[in-house]
Amino acid sequence: MSGVLLRKIVVGLLVAVLLHLPAQAADPLPSWKEGPAKSAILAFVEKVTKPGTPDFVAPEKRIATFDNDGTLWIEQPMYIQLVFVLDRVEALAPQHPEWKDDPLFKAALDRDLKALGEFGARGLARLTAATSTGMTTEEFETQVEDWIEAARDPRFNRPYTELVYQPMLELMSYLRASGFKTFIVSGGGLYFMRPWTERVYGIPPEQVVGSSIEIEYQMQDGKPVLMRLPKIRFIDDKAGKPVGISYHIGRRPLAAFGNSDGDLEMLTYTTAGPGPRLGMIVHHTDAAREFAYDRDSAFGKLDKALDEAAAHGWTVVDMKKDWNTIFPTEREAAP
């Protein structure tokens, strides 16, 4: 037997052996530190995706819902959509002298964050209805896209779409690779989020559930348009979230992810279902790399949901302890 033939045989045998060795899967969550939170995610996904077991869930029933503000991107010192709306209030204020006598609009003009926080998602929806209506949905989408491209966060000096959480991006990708369909279920505006969620999160517009104002079909210059009306249609916050899930998704989620008391009902509804469920709360504990807040925050208040987490079996993610990195690049600003 020649040396060349022998080498070919040896190489062939090695290839055959390697092909039959179990593949060592890459870590799907590299930005998550080893610990209870990461283990809970991996164990849950393995449990519901393993065929032939009692806990197996068919792919069409694998629904995961995510809050947006404070769960997928920053919400301090105020909701990002609120920054957009306050810019609109300021620009339109000369045309509306009556706003100075309205507590909500006065707080907006003064940029009084404490007062604005007390108005909650309903206040944000009302400001949106007053400042971003009388235009088509396409015109509003262009307005949002132009603003979000130009706006910069004052602390990090980065576009808001870069201030998304890398660990959560990995989590959404991992769930989708495991046969899940991922939805945003947010108190934020439906039409504010839709223009950019697919580009930033990989979540298409039809998988975004949010607060909304009324729209109306009209003909303008012989062309059909959808006009935004100054009337609130639906507030997708707190008890509204399970309702929004029912309206738009039609299935109870298997997993839900939030960060505040505004997500309490969504988490409760999700984990009350039969079989394996995953409820997870992102707890902001990292003042150096992001922000630290919970019970006393005007935005993203986490109080009751934090107290009830253990009783419901929800996993609380400690950002400081559980995440290797916060944002998609290493350019994390010091305080």
Residues 14-37: tens digit of each pLDDT? 434 334 434 446 999 999 999 999
Q: Are 148 and 160 in contact (CB under 8 A)?
A: yes
Does 48 map to a domain?
yes
CA 10 to the chain's CA centroid: 52
* Range among 105-119, 120-134, 153-167 with highest mean pLDDT value: 153-167
Does 86 map to a domain?
no
Query: Whole-prediction pTM value?
Result: 0.89
The CATH number given to whatever domain includes residue 180 is 3.40.50.1000
Q: Provide the sign of the torsion angle of the four alpha carbons 160, 166, 168, 169, taken in this order.
A: positive
The whole domain housing 227 covers 36-76+163-322
d(CA 321, CA 110): 37
Which of 324, 25, 278 is CA-nearest to residue 166? 324
d(CA 212, CA 192): 9
Which helix (H) or strand (E) covers residue 168, if one does?
Answer: helix 166-177
What pLDDT score does 22 carry?
41
What pLDDT score does 96 carry?
94
Could you check whether the bond before residue 77 is cis, i.e. omega within 30 degrees of 0?
Answer: yes
Q: How many domains does the chain have?
A: 1
What pLDDT score does 17 carry?
36
329 confidence band (pLDDT: 50, 70, 90): confident
* Residue 10 pLDDT exceeds 60: no
Does 202 map to a domain?
yes
Does 289 map to a domain?
yes
What pLDDT score does 254 carry?
98
Does 145 map to a domain?
no
Tokens of 215: 């729209």
Does 65 map to a domain?
yes
Does 127 map to a domain?
no
- Residue 176 burial (10 A CB sphere; 0-12, 13-18, 19+): middle
d(CA 335, CA 320): 14
Does 54 map to a domain?
yes
